[in-house]
Amino acid sequence: SKPKILVARAIFPETIERLSQHFEVESNQADESWSKEQLIAKLQGKQGAFTTGSERIDTAVLDACPDLKICANMAVGYNNFDVDAMAAHGVLGTNAPDVLTETTADFGFALLMATARRITESEHFLRAGKWQKWSFDMFAGSDIHGSTLGIIGMGRIGQGIAKRGAHGFGMKVVYHNRSRLDAALEAECKASYVSKEELLKTADHVVLVVPYSPASHHTIGAAEIALMKPTATLVNIARGGIVDDAALAVALREKRIAAAGLDVFEGEPKVHPDLLTVPNVVLTPHIASATVPTRRAMADLAADNLIAWFGGKGALTPVTPVPPAAS
């Protein structure tokens, strides 16, 4: 008989159809918000799960769901997985990298431009009927072209943003990363490696694309913001928790930096209330990978991981130690 899987959130009907050719599928097509207890109840008897990054897979879930063998995340990030606990339980985790790289880099650039050029702030002004006359400094922002772009986290997405900045906008690109890129990749991205401190001091625009881990928690807090230029902008498309949102809200209110663009938030979908009241921040609801083709590709890759692994071919993009293939 077919393995049983749970699809934890609503997804494309085509994805459900495809999964149904291989599995007995129970799906949350109503997109209900499940408590941990409800998730555990739904996972009973399931060997696989299609997850989206919102479902925390930890010891409590793993202990309570002994049939579970694999969780396929429809996201490149997988900080919803307790990787050590999954490894200890022999449960495989997979993510959905690569297919979203260029789309997410596009969005990082869009958010950077919206932030530097005050696009949403000025639109709110116009919609509120406040546009009565021209004035010399109305929504005057900062330039993108020819400025210095600092990228923290130089994975595939960071490299995509670097290329856009260097090749498209003539930016000088500096980056900081756990490890330095090889010379060929640095040349391709026209990017120079610098310390985090040097980057924060010299960049006109700082973009964060570092994966979340306890080590990257509050990569940017009050002390780091204090190093930045008062004219600088900060963009976070990485994960909530990479930035200390409370400290950022204070810095924005006090104009210690010019502006910020945030697609991710500590404790999202809640947003720090102080961020909602400062004007110099562009806020988007975690949509950096949200184009129709890319979301389809991410769903396909998560499904492909389940199909390949249960088919005995091994997972395509594992992020936990690989347990023996299904028989």
Distance between CA 85 and CA 89 in Å, rounded? 6
Q: Whole-number minimum distance, CB 2 to ligand GLV, in Å?
A: 28
Structure tokens at 249: 């809200």
Residue 268 annotated as catalytic: yes
Residue number of the CB atom closest to ligand GLV: 155
Catalytic residue (choose from 118, 272, 286, 295)? 286
Residues 6+ apart with CB under 8 A from 7: 15, 16, 19, 25, 26, 27, 28, 29, 49, 50
Distance between CA 136 and CA 51 in Å, rounded? 50
Residues 255-314 that bind ligand GLV (CB under 6 A): 289
Catalytic residue (choose from 117, 164, 176, 239)? 239
Nearest to 191 by CA among 153, 230, 235: 153
Q: Whole-number minimum distance, CB 136 to ligand GLV, in Å?
A: 40
Query: Can you tell me which of 70, 75, 110, 206 binds ligand GLV, judged by CB under 6 A?
Result: 75
* Kind of pairing between the strands at 24-27 and 281-283: unpaired
What is the total count of residues that contact ligand GLV (CB under 6 A)?
14
Nearer to ligand GLV, 52 or 115 (CB): 52
Structure tokens at 311: 């088919």
Map residues 145-174 to x or -, x wherever contact with ligand GLV holds by CB under 6 A.
----------xxxx----------------
Q: Whole-number minimum distance, CB 49 to ligand GLV, in Å?
A: 16
Residue 205 annotated as catalytic: no
Nearer to ligand GLV, 76 or 297 (CB): 76
| Contact between 240 and ligand GLV per CB under 6 A | no
Q: H helices of the chain, where?
A: 13-20, 36-43, 59-64, 83-88, 101-116, 119-127, 156-163, 169, 183-189, 196-202, 222-227, 245-253, 273-277, 292-310
Residue 176 annotated as catalytic: no
Q: Whole-number minimum distance, CB 95 to ligand GLV, in Å?
A: 7
Nearer to ligand GLV, 6 or 75 (CB): 75
Q: Whole-number minimum distance, CB 250 to ligand GLV, in Å?
A: 26
> Residue 268: what residue type?
E
Nearer to ligand GLV, 156 or 256 (CB): 156
Query: Can you tell me which of 97, 108, 141, 261 binds ligand GLV, judged by CB under 6 A?
Result: 97
| Contact between 101 and ligand GLV per CB under 6 A | yes
Helix axes 292-310, 13-20, angle to 10 degrees: 10
C-alpha dist (Å) from residue 204 to 87, 128, 146, 147, 322: 42, 30, 10, 6, 42
Rounded to the nearest 5 degrees, what angle is found at the Cα of 77, between the Cα atoms of 300 and 190? Answer: 100
Catalytic residue (choose from 102, 188, 198, 268)? 268
Q: Could you list the active site residues? A: 239, 268, 286
* Residues found near ligand GLV in the complex (CB under 6 A): 53, 75-77, 97, 100-101, 155-158, 209, 211, 289
